[in-house]
Structure 1
Amino acid sequence: MSIIDFLAEFSYRRVVWGTLLIGLCSGAMGTFLYLRRQSMMSDVIGHSATPGVMGAFLFFATTPWLSESQLLADWGIDARSMPVITIGAMVTGLASAIVANAVADSTRIGIDSTMAVMLSLLVVVAIVIGVKAVGLILMIAFAVFPPAAARQWTRTVAQMVVVSGLIGAIAAIVGSYISISAGKVPTGPVIVLVLAAFVIVALVASPRRAAVIR
């Protein structure tokens, strides 16, 4: 399958954009977990959230009037609309910053500690949502592998965030294309293998930290 045919199919584009955005955001987010030596927190959160996700699914499946789609439809909101998702993410980030500053101003807790707590809460929410969207294994891989690979090529935190996000996005695109082109191959495991390949190449070929150079 050619790239043009691949991008011409709506369902394929939807898979690519979904995994690309999750890979980009998860890779950038995973940088902070990596630097705080909390990368495997995504694994812990993902496994611990699974029973809750299943319970919520069963609860809302038996109460249609409380379903997300029905509530949003009553409000005239399309939950699958990209502008709605983007606005929601921006409002969440802005509200988190406002709450963090308000807590820091009204208590003895410093702004750094407050932002650290808010970051941890947002990471938990992002991982739980990601587990529902793309599955447990792929979400963990998106949060762990890109920062591990980016660390071998970068010097500053800003560079690491950008490179890690790009690695997650590129792996999502390449893995989706390979999976769809190969036929009956699941997309998630292929993306995980591509992410693992990025880490191996970074560990072997990094000009500053490569095992071969050592």
Structure 2
Amino acid sequence: MSPVEFFSDHTYRMVFLATALIGLVSGALGVFAYLRRQSLVSDVISHAALPGTLVAFLVGVVLLGTDGRSMVGLVTGAVVAGTLAVLWAASITRHSRLKVDTSMAVVLTTFFAGGMLLLQVITRGDFRGKGGIEDYLFGNASVITTSDLVAIIVVGIAALAVLVACWKEFALHAFDPDHASVLGFDRRVVDTVMFTSIVVATVIGVKAVGLVLMVAFVVTPPAAARQWTRRLPSMVVLSAAIGAVTSGVGAYLSIAVVDVPTGPLVVMVMFAVFVVSMLAAPRRSILVRAIGRARLRDRLRRELLKEQA
């Protein structure tokens, strides 16, 4: 399929634009989780999003009498559940001797188990509009509609606006949280705002990509961008660009070339960019470090030979 044929199809355009926007927002906000060495938080959020969306679906069907498939309602439920999961994990870490990775693992599995139970209840029950609800587990980009795309745009812009408005606070807490506290920035407030933004960046992609793979959208672009730059602004921009471009390319290839699910192929394209960054990026790449070590050994060898002579 040629690019012209691809972009002339409404469904394919929706898939391309939605995945590219998801990659952009997730890549930009994922930088701060990466710098704070809390990349697992995106995994917690994505798995907590499952029970959140399912509870929102049940509220819409049972209490409001709708079909429960409103993108805004489902995203709201996922954001609430994801934020609660992150705050719960942080609370466990503060009030116990458990490390952050252990507390996140406990919260992740608890929320995911609850989501799987709710999924069974919904699939076996007589609920209107339940068809395709399991797409939130593995994702299905082909079901993205215009209203879904609009919701992704609005929510994504809101998340990026929070990033810009709280740039100084996020940066200080990422690099020197103690200094930020001395300056009067409440760590709990900043953490809540930052993790809520990351929650939003994560959950907007659950429908298209699925919660199982959404973690890659938050972790891989920042990891690749870090190999190319040392400055935070350029890292955020580059991570957003990597997320958007790899997501768009993966979406195109999955439909026009190999005819496979979009989410997995996007993750593979991201991984390819990460590998290239690890191997070829200046200053931090594996090849550059190997060459530097070889030159250092050669220089030491020459100096030793001069001393012996």
Structure 2 matches for 1:143-162, cutoff 5 A? 143-162=218-237
The yes-or-no answer on 1:33 pairing with 2:33 is: yes
Mapped to 2, the partners of 1:159 and 1:176 lie a distance apart of 25
Larger mean Cα displacement after TM superposition, 40-49 or 20-29: 40-49
Distance in 2 separating the partners of 1:209 and 1:12:
37
Contact 2:227–2:278 (Cα < 8 Å) also in 1? yes
Q: Report matched runs for 1:84-163 at 5 Å.
A: 85-86=153-154, 89-90=157-158, 93=161, 110-111=184-185, 113=187, 114-163=189-238
1:47, distance to aligned residue in structure 2 (A)? 1.7
TM-score where L is the length of structure 2: 0.56
Distance (Å, rounded) in 2 between the aligned partners of 1:19 and 1:81: 9
Displacement of 1:137 after TM fit?
Answer: 3.0
Aligned partners of 2:281, 2:33: CA distance in 1, in Å?
Answer: 21
Alpha-carbon spacing, 1:174–1:35, altered in 2? closer, same or farther (3 Å): same
Q: Structure 1 residue aligned with 2:264, among 170, 189, 193? A: 189
Q: 1:154 to 1:112 in 2, by over 3 A?
A: farther
Q: Which structure has the larger Rg over C-alpha atoms?
A: 2
Which residue type is aligned with residue 162 of structure 1? Answer: V
Amino acid at match of 2:40: M
Q: Give the Å deviation of 1:184.
A: 3.3
Cα deviations by residue, 1:167-195 (Å, 9 ceiling, x for unpaired): 01111111011111235311110001000
For structure 1, which runs of at least 5 residues remain unmatched after alignment? 73-77, 102-107
Look up the equivalent residue of 1:29 and give its one-letter code. L
Distance 1:198 1:158, change over 3 A: same
Match of 1:207?
Answer: 282
The separation in 2 between residues aligned to 1:207 and 1:81, in whole angstroms, is: 37
In structure 2, what is the equivalent of residue 104 of structure 1?
none
d(CA) in 2 for partners of 1:167, 1:88: 16
Relative to structure 1, is the Cα distance of residues 83 and 182 closer, same or farther in structure 2, using a 3 angstrom cutoff?
A: closer
1:2 maps to what in 2?
A: 2
Gaps in structure 2 of 5+ consecutive residues: 74-145, 170-181, 291-309
Work out whether residues 22 and 201 of structure 2, in 8 Å CA contact, stay in contact via their aligned partners in 1.
no
Change (3 A) 1:199 1:112: farther
Q: Structure 1 residues 133-142 or 151-160, which shifts more?
A: 133-142
Distance, in Å, in 2 between the alignment partners of 1:81 and 1:28 is: 19
After TM superposition, the structure 1 stretch with the greater mean CA deviation from structure 2, 156-165 or 128-137, is 128-137
How many residues are aligned here? 199
Q: CA deviation at 1:50?
A: 1.9
The letter of the residue matching 2:185 is I
Distance 1:5 1:185 in 2: 18
| 1:138-195 per-position Cα deviation (integer Å, ceiling 9, x unaligned) | 3211101000000000120000000000001111111011111235311110001000
Task: Provide, for residues 32-65 of structure 1, a one-character-per-residue CA deviation record: whole Å limited to 9, x for no partner.
Answer: 1111111111012222332232232233233453
Aligned-partner Cα distance in 2 for 1:212–1:135 = 35
